[in-house]
Each structure stands twice: as structure tokens, then as C-alpha cells.
Structure 1
């Protein structure tokens, strides 16, 4: 089983980030966190890295359902979505597969929520570009 859904788009990096954020909003997600990996690696260890952004996305309704079923599920939230430069003309957008993440937890109700989130995240990725 793969642990992510990905799509490569022909957009400038910043446009891909904006398109991803908008697609997340259309499907009920907000961006709670944003980690600029390129900037962090440069500041912390002086490494030169390609543009790479981690968006911590959350669908409040789905998060609430998951928390009601499993109070420690917050260790696996929010859902990470990455936007990374592949080459001068290509940007890849990837989202975690929540079903793969939740396989370690024996809770059938949580599996149903993860499947719903998976469907939404697949739609987000399909909408970009």
C-alpha cells in the first residue's frame, strides 16, 4: 500500500501552493501549519534544498469525529500535504493517505473516518493544476 497520493503540475511553485490551499478549502480543509523545509534547512544546517513546503491540513468535522473515536489520534493529525519543486517547470503535490496512517490502530470506526478523509484528499489532489 502506498502512503501518499501525488500529482505533478506545470505551475510555478507559489502558484502550486496557492492552488493547493484553495483546493483544500473547497473540500473542507484549513491549513493549520506551514513548514518551509528549504528555509528551515538553510537556517539550521546551511543546506541548500529545493522549494519544499509542508502544509498541515485539517478538516475540522473529520478531525472531531476521529478524536471522539480515539483520543490519542491527535498524534497523527493534521494531514500533511507537501508541495515540492521537481525541476524548473514541474511541481509535485502529495497528500498523506490517512488509511495507510491509521492501519496501526485497531478501531473500525476510525477506519471509516480515514476512508472519508482519503476520498476528500484524493479530490484535492485531482483538483490541482
Structure 2
């Protein structure tokens, strides 16, 4: 079972990050945090690492709905989307909310998780068609 929704594209890293942020916005997600893993590891460990960004994405209406059903769900928010370079190009991977929320065992979250999955799938599809 995969825990992410994935795509891989050929393009510049910065352009893929921008396309990912744009696609997230089109689906109603804001980026609450943007972690530059490469810069963080360089600063904290003096270690070199590939270009790698973690975008903490949130769709406020869907997050609100989930929080009303399960207050502790905040520990699993926001939805992380990662963009990173490797030998095959630039990968975009979004957490699969159906898989993630399956650990909560609250059937009331199934609809929200499915809606978020649909939106994140459209995000990765949009990034793929941009390149």
C-alpha cells in the first residue's frame, strides 16, 4: 500500500515547486510552512543533501470539518507535500490522507479524507501536465 500520491517531472526544481504551490492554491490549499531541508541540514549538520522542500498544505474548510469530527486529528495536519530532486528528475509526493487517516479508526473522517485525496491527486496531475 502506498502512503503517497506521486508524480515525477523533468523541469527545474524551482519551477516544479512553483507549479506545485500554484496547483495547491487552485485546489483550495494554502502553504502554512515551507521547510527547505537542504538548507536546514547544511546549517544544522554541515551536511550536503539534495534539493528537498516540505510544503505543509492546508485546506481550511476540510481541516475544520476533520477537526470537528476528531479533535486530535490536528496531530496529523497539515497535509505534507514534498518536492525533491533525484537521479530521475523532480519528484512531487503528497501524503495520501486516506492511508494516513486510516490509523485514526473514525469512519466519520472517510468522506473528508476522500475529498482531500481527490484534490491532492488533481494537484499532482496538474504538476505533471505543466511539464
TM-score, length-normalised on structure 1?
0.96
Matched, 1:37 2:27: no
RMSD over aligned Cα, in angstroms?
Answer: 1.0
SS of residue matched to 1:82: strand
Matched, 1:15 2:15: yes
How far apart are the structure 2 equivalents of 1:99 and 1:68?
17
Structure 2 unaligned regions, length at least 5: none
SS of residue matched to 1:48: coil
Going by fraction, where is helix more abundant, 1 or 2? 2
How far apart are the structure 2 equivalents of 1:61 and 1:68?
11
How far apart are the structure 1 equivalents of 2:47 and 2:9?
26
Structure 1 unaligned regions, length at least 5: none
How far apart are the structure 1 equivalents of 2:105 and 2:92?
30
Moved more, 64-73 or 100-109: 100-109
**What aligned pairs does 1:1-129 form with structure 2 within 5 A after superposition?**
1-87=1-87, 90-128=89-127, 129=130
Deviation, structure 1 residue 34? 0.4
What is the number of equivalent residue pairs in this alignment?
A: 128
Deviation, structure 1 residue 127? 0.4
Moved over 3 A (4+): none
Q: Deviations over 1:57-108 (max 9, x none)?
A: 0001100000000001000000000000113x71111100001111111211
TM-score, length-normalised on structure 2?
0.95
